[in-house]
């Protein structure tokens, strides 16, 4: 029997009517698997994920597939946004087992005895395609293997545990941490930079906000002195400019989609995530302080307006995501047909739209048009023999009409969970935007958001991770503490209130007492949290910065502000324990490289140790 109906998570509720006997993660599900001597099929995803929907429609809604799953497995569904600890752990396991990166949906098969995976994958099709076997075949083969190869699975589990232990250094090395290492990080990023379209690498192309922040931090104060620093700033400015004109940015309503499937930033994966938009607001605001580009200002204003108008709860927190799909079609809400556009615009307006948004080209997304800026206002003005001011006024009218057309469609589902870490990223971004644009309204929204976190997600001296349906859930993870502390340091320096320093000190002390490894660095979960197989300590940035890198940055800021030497000592221990990783692959740790640069700048020295 499917047991997800009483869950709060939108992602779990999306699977509540599957014929699969899904169970939520917990002691009951694990004990049931152990008592019945069945392997666990663990499926991890999130509500806005397109490929999660595809696998749900193709396999989890199929009676035959569900029957195999129910007979041979105990099936557990996990929302990665509620349980990032489980997602991070099993993504690492997938990487080690399969030799390739994971993704979502993440599909891992666990030995119920110790919750160690013995096989993994992401999306599996119902029939063989994309070089992948059929999901039903995988289910049968792995179930048989689990029953017949207990000893081999146990041996593999031991090797996997040893590999997990090796992911993070157990003690500090003597690897030198110096300015040349920071220069090397920049050179390696530059070698992968797309100087035509901006961004790192080729398709698919992600914003990689932590990398952009590193380039901004690396280049800002030195761009007049060093050619490399100026080059770093120009790389960021080019990337932000290209993204703002591309389809990864919602040209009508504002806000960024998760990533682009092409190198030109034109066609996105259509989910909108709070964490992307928070980080990109921060990057655009920082870039605007360096070069006051009106386009950047418009992007900041439009994106914040979209968040406040569409993603803010009545209580003051911000929701986590908008779905990629509507009516079972990816991007349907956002794309247009020529005929419907022509019908809602004047002839002159349509001529402008066709030139400005690229409707005079071939359809760019499944026989429809997704909007991006194809020609500048200046070119359109010349082509249509109108003034630039006239073009801009027409575009305002056109955008309003197209938005009204779009609003008649099925709206993308909004995941209304409120996550502490992602909201803290937004607090930091709002304070930065307030300063960059001299807009006190943004500072006010940031202050109200921090008040929401304090009043709803901080209980009995502990942060919690998630707020939904009036309930606070899940003990906070490192990201929750580190990002909230980091946001508080921005508030303290811009709009100081006495409670900010007290709250920040309380969070810092909990981090040191319950997350810090005595050898250096921070675990993702506290020593009060449920232990599952392995306690991760990671320094590498992903789509969001690593809590293990933001923690020492935020602690050091508070250490200077509050004159707490133990906070500064925790930063230095983190850099020491991670030094061998930084030397080996500096571009994987842009946030920790920012931490190192801050230390070296403050000391006025070339070498830390």
Residues 110 and 200 in one domain: no
Q: Can you state the percent helix, strand and coil of the chain, rounding each to 5?
A: 55, 10, 35
Residues 402 and 456 in one domain: no
Range of the domain at 584: 181-227+249-292+418-603
Last residue of a domain, one of 364, 387, 408: 408
pLDDT value of position 495? 83
Asked if residue 123 has pLDDT above 80, the reply is: yes
Nearest to 418 by CA among 472, 460, 463: 472
Residues 487 and 575 in one domain: yes
Structural domain includes residue 127: yes
pLDDT per residue as tens digits for the range 403-423: 999 999 999 999 999 999 999
pLDDT per residue as tens digits for the range 515-537: 999 999 999 999 999 999 999 99
**Residues whose CB falls within 8 Å of the CB of residue 136, separated by 6 or more in sequence, listed in order:** 64, 65, 68, 126
Residues 500 and 554 in one domain: yes
Asked if residue 609 has pLDDT above 70, the reply is: no
pLDDT value of position 439? 97
Asked if residue 190 has pLDDT above 80, the reply is: yes
Q: Mean pLDDT for the chain?
A: 95
pLDDT value of position 175? 81
Structural domain includes residue 76: yes
Mean pLDDT of 14-43: 97
Structural domain tally of the chain?
3
The CATH number of whichever domain residue 200 belongs to comes to 1.50.10.10
Residues 287 and 427 in one domain: yes
Q: Could you identify the residue written with the tokens 């591309």? A: 246
pLDDT bin (cut points 50, 70, 90) of residue 223 is low
Nearest to 81 by CA among 450, 448, 468, 453: 468
CA distance 209 to 207: 5
Structural domain includes residue 303: no
| DSSP of 557-599 | HHHHHHT-HHHHHHHHHHHHHHHHHHHH-GGG-HHHHHHHHHH
CA distance 87 to 79: 8
Mean pLDDT of 462-471: 96
From the centroid of its chain, how far is CA 148? 40
Token pair belonging to 565: 């030497």
Structural domain includes residue 204: yes
| Least trusted range by pLDDT, from 54-68, 220-234, 573-587 | 220-234
Mean pLDDT of 576-585: 95
pLDDT bin (cut points 50, 70, 90) of residue 228 is confident
Residues 105 and 203 in one domain: no
pLDDT per residue as tens digits for the range 305-338: 999 999 999 999 999 999 999 999 999 999 999 9
CA distance 496 to 96: 46
Residues 75 and 121 in one domain: yes
Cβ–Cβ under 8 Å, residues 117 and 48: no
pLDDT bin (cut points 50, 70, 90) of residue 498 is confident
CA distance 82 to 466: 7
pLDDT per residue as tens digits for the range 240-288: 999 999 999 999 999 999 999 999 999 999 999 999 999 999 999 999 9
pLDDT value of position 220? 82
Token pair belonging to 153: 């699975």
Structural domain includes residue 445: yes
Mean pLDDT of 113-129: 95
Asked if residue 221 has pLDDT above 80, the reply is: no
Q: Phi first, then psi: what are they for 44, rounded to 5°? A: -120, 130
Last residue of a domain, one of 133, 165, 197: 165
Token pair belonging to 175: 């690897």
CA distance 204 to 262: 5
Residues 543 and 504 in one domain: yes
**Residues whose CB falls within 8 Å of the CB of residue 519, separated by 6 or more in sequence, listed in order:** 170, 171, 172, 573, 577
Residues 393 and 422 in one domain: no
Residues 63 and 154 in one domain: yes
Cβ–Cβ under 8 Å, residues 256 and 302: no
Token pair belonging to 293: 């580009």
The CATH number of whichever domain residue 350 belongs to comes to 1.10.10
Asked if residue 154 has pLDDT above 60, the reply is: yes
Cα of first residue to Cα of last residue in the chain, in angstroms, is: 59
Last residue of a domain, one of 165, 189, 213: 165
pLDDT bin (cut points 50, 70, 90) of residue 603 is confident
Asked if residue 427 has pLDDT above 60, the reply is: yes
Count of CA atoms in the C-beta half-sphere (13 A) of 268: 32
pLDDT bin (cut points 50, 70, 90) of residue 457 is very high
Residues 15 and 161 in one domain: yes
Q: Could you identify the residue written with the tokens 């013995």? A: 118
Residues 468 and 569 in one domain: yes
Asked if residue 374 has pLDDT above 80, the reply is: yes
CA distance 551 to 555: 6
Mean pLDDT of 28-52: 96
Structural domain includes residue 301: no
CA distance 138 to 87: 21
For residue 204, say if its preceding peptide bond is cis, omega within 30 degrees of 0: yes
pLDDT bin (cut points 50, 70, 90) of residue 497 is confident
CA distance 13 to 588: 35
The CATH number of whichever domain residue 28 belongs to comes to 3.40.30.10
Cα-based angle 201, 288, 371 (whole degrees, multiple of 5): 55
Cβ–Cβ under 8 Å, residues 179 and 228: no
**DSSP H helical segments within 408-477, as ranges?**
420-437, 440-457
pLDDT value of position 229? 84
CA distance 250 to 371: 8
Structural domain includes residue 541: yes
Cα-based angle 205, 207, 208 (whole degrees, multiple of 5): 105
- 534: which DSSP letter? -
Cβ–Cβ under 8 Å, residues 353 and 341: yes
pLDDT value of position 224? 57
CA distance 526 to 504: 17
Token pair belonging to 493: 């320096």
């Amino acid at each position: 029997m499917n047991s997800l109906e009483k869950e709060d998570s939108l992602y779990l509720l999306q699977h509540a009517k599957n014929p699969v006997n899904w169970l939520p993660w917990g002691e009951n599900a694990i004990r049931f698997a152990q008592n019945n001597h069945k392997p666990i099929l663990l499926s991890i995803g999130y509500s806005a994920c397109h490929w999660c929907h595809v696998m749900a429609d193709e396999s989890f809604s199929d009676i035959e597939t569900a029957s195999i799953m129910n007979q041979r497995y105990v099936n557990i569904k996990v929302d990665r946004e509620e349980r990032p600890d489980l997602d991070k752990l099993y993504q690492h396991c997938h990487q080690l087992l399969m030799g390739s990166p994971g993704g979502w949906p993440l599909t891992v098969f666990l030995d119920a005895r110790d919750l160690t995976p013995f096989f993994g994958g992401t999306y599996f099709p119902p029939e063989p395609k994309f070089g992948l076997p059929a999901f039903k075949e995988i289910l049968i083969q792995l179930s048989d293997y689990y029953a017949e190869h207990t000893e081999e699975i146990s041996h593999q589990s031991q090797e996997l545990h040893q590999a997990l232990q090796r992911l993070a250094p157990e003690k500090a090395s003597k690897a030198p941490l110096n300015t040349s290492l920071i220069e090397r990080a920049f050179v390696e990023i530059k070698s992968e930079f797309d100087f035509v379209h901006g961004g790192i690498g080729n398709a698919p192309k992600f914003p990689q906000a932590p990398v952009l922040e590193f380039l901004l931090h690396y280049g800002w104060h030195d761009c007049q002195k060093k050619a490399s620093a100026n080059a770093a700033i120009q790389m960021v400015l080019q990337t932000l400019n290209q993204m703002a004109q591309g389809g990864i940015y919602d040209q009508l309503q504002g806000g960024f989609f998760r990533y682009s499937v092409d190198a030109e930033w034109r066609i996105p994966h259509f989910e909108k995530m709070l964490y992307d938009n928070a980080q990109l607001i921060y990057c655009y605001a920082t870039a605007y302080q360096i070069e006051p580009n009106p386009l950047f200002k418009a992007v900041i204003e439009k994106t914040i307006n979209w968040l406040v108008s569409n993603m803010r709860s009545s209580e003051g927190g911000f929701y986590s995501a908008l779905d990629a799909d509507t009516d079972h079609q990816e991007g349907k809400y956002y794309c247009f047909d020529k005929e419907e556009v022509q019908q809602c615009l004047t002839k002159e307006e349509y001529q402008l739209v066709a030139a400005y948004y690229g409707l005079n080209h071939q359809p760019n997304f499944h026989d429809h048009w997704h909007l991006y800026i194809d020609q500048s206002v200046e070119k359109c003005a010349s082509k249509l023999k109108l003034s630039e001011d006239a073009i801009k006024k027409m575009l305002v009218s056109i955008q309003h009409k197209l938005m009204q057309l779009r609003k008649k469609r099925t709206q993308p589902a909004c995941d209304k969970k409120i996550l502490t870490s992602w909201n803290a990223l937004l607090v930091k971004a709002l304070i930065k935007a307030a300063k960059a644009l001299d807009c006190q309204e943004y500072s006010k929204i940031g202050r109200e958001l921090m008040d929401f976190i304090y009043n709803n997600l901080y209980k009995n001296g502990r942060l919690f991770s998630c707020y939904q349906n009036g309930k606070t859930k899940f003990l906070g993870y490192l990201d929750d503490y580190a990002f909230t502390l980091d946001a508080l340091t921005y508030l303290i320096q811009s709009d100081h209130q006495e409670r900010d320093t007290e709250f920040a000190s309380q969070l810092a002390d909990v981090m040191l007492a319950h997350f810090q490894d005595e050898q250096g660095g921070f675990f993702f979960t506290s020593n009060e949290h449920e232990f599952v197989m392995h306690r991760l300590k990671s320094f590498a940035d992903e789509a969001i910065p690593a809590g293990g890198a933001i923690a020492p940055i935020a602690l050091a800021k508070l250490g200077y502000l509050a004159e707490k030497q133990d906070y500064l000592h925790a930063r230095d221990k983190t850099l020491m324990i991670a030094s061998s990783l930084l030397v080996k692959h500096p571009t994987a740790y842009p946030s920790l490289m920012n931490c190192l640069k801050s230390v070296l700048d403050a000391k006025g020295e070339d070498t830390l140790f």
